[in-house]
Amino acid sequence: MLHWKKMLTGFGVLSMLFVAACGSTTGTGTNGSNGGQAPANGEATQSPAAAEPVTIEFWYGLGGKLGENMQTLINNFNASQSEVIVKPVVQADYSETEKKLQAAIAGGKVPAAVLSSNVDWARKGYYASLDELIAGQADFNAADVIPTFLEQGKVDGKQYFLPMYGTTQVMYYRKDALEKINVKPEDLTTWEALANAAKEMTVKNGAQTSFYGWEPMWGMENMMDAVFGKGGSVLSEDGKTVTIDSPEWVETWDQFRKWIHEDKIMRIHSGGQGWEYWYKTIDDVMKGQAAGYTGSSGDQGDLDFSILGAMEQPGWEGKGPGKPVANAIMAGIPAGASPEQQQAAFKWFTYFMNAENTAFWSMNTGYIAVRQSAQDDPKFAAFTQENPQSMVPLKQAAHASKPFQDPTGGKITDALKVAADKVQISNVPAAEALKEAKEKAQRELDKLK
């Protein structure tokens, strides 16, 4: 949830550090080879004691089956070698991970690996560049990593973050709800068509709605996806002007407001602890209180596809297919970690990203594998044949938008979050909410001149 919201948008930092085994005369090196040398006379010598493994903390905000699958890979990694021990430290969500990391950086005691990324913090030197670690491991094979995902981890030409998995928000629907109104998923290629179907599926009892036609996910991401499908952008081409008050933005966000507050054919769950709102949204659909919802590709591990189906996000009439964001969930290594811890974190990252494990993660979570060679994994190939919904995120990613990288260090994104809450929760007209957000965002952008 991303799991979940995964979406998410310009906030967390994913940091991992890897420590090579020490011991120059004996013991196992980071590549598993024997570092010792036999004596010239062939006589046996007593090996010194093996080096103690390097223990590192890995911080991440994942719950549900995502958390269970992460724990499985951590356990497998710890059992696979003796140089590094990864100690999981779980937060409620990505936002909490970032807040705790900020406190850790201020206190001078950071974890070695973090599931989160923050461009502004990388520029300020809070994250370690990974270029030397990548260059020092020949079998990392950066060319095999999906280029758009690897590129998202670069800051000013340097690789600061590595993609652990990819995500994009897709549409999940109840098969019985569509069948009841004789609508097929392939009929819902536009938001207009989805809204018509949602209106037909919504059940109202007087002033109360007992069954909603659709549930967008709380937050700005889903509505931004829809804006990009209409041709909108966050900044002008020259990067000097904030454009979130354009007709594409106002029309799209106000349409969502009307669907939620006026037509009442859609609703959102908001607030709560961690991913509470996300799970409530899923529960509505699974328990037959809504026909479908917009959520992360990573939700698939928690869904029952004997009841549900998956489809790509729609576009708009006359605008072609949708252009939702495909985002890499990144990991990084805080600069305050020791060189040994950084090496250890990198070793863990490399293990998580190998073809077999990224395929495992994709099969068990619905997230997008980050290596192209994962598709050659026999288990993955068989899985996609048996579970066609697993291919929906991959197909959508082929025509997806790149995530917005906030040049102000999150100030534009913060303004958009406030505006989204006003539209989705408080029923404020989009023109008013976005005008205020644009003014705040533009002031922050102008400070960079």
pLDDT of residue 8: 35
CA 440 to CA 396: how far, in whole Å? 33
pLDDT of residue 7: 36
Q: Where are the beta strands (DSSP E) in 180-255?
A: 203-205, 208-211
Q: Rounded to two decimals, what is the model's pTM? A: 0.73
- Give the tokens for residue 329: 């969930």
DSSP annotation string for 409-432: SSHHHHHHHHHHHHHHTT---HHH
pLDDT tens for each residue of the chain, 449 residues long: 444 333 333 333 333 333 333 333 333 333 333 333 333 333 444 445 568 999 999 999 998 899 999 999 999 999 999 999 999 999 999 999 999 999 999 999 999 999 999 988 999 999 999 999 999 998 899 999 998 899 999 999 999 999 999 999 999 999 999 999 999 999 999 999 999 999 999 999 888 899 999 999 999 999 999 999 999 999 999 999 999 999 999 999 999 999 999 999 999 999 999 899 999 999 999 999 999 999 999 899 889 999 999 999 999 999 999 999 999 999 999 999 999 999 999 999 999 999 999 999 999 998 999 999 998 999 999 999 999 999 899 888 878 898 998 999 899 999 999 999 999 999 999 999 999 999 999 999 999 97
Q: Do domains 13-30+50-167+327-397 and 169-326+403-446 have the same CATH topology?
A: yes
DSSP annotation string for 232-251: --SB-TTS-SB-TTSHHHHH
Is beta strand 208-211 parallel, antiparallel or unpaired with respect to 203-205? Answer: antiparallel
pLDDT of residue 117: 94
Q: Which of these CATH numbers, 3.40.190.10, 2.40.50.100, 1.10.8.420, 1.20.140.10, describes 169-326+403-446? A: 3.40.190.10
Rounded (10°) CA dihedral 279, 168, 440, 237: -170
Handedness of CA 279, 283, 289, 292 (dihedral sign): positive
Q: List the chain domain ranges.
A: 13-30+50-167+327-397, 169-326+403-446
Q: Which of these CATH numbers, 3.40.50.300, 3.60.40.10, 3.30.565.10, 3.40.190.10, describes 13-30+50-167+327-397? A: 3.40.190.10
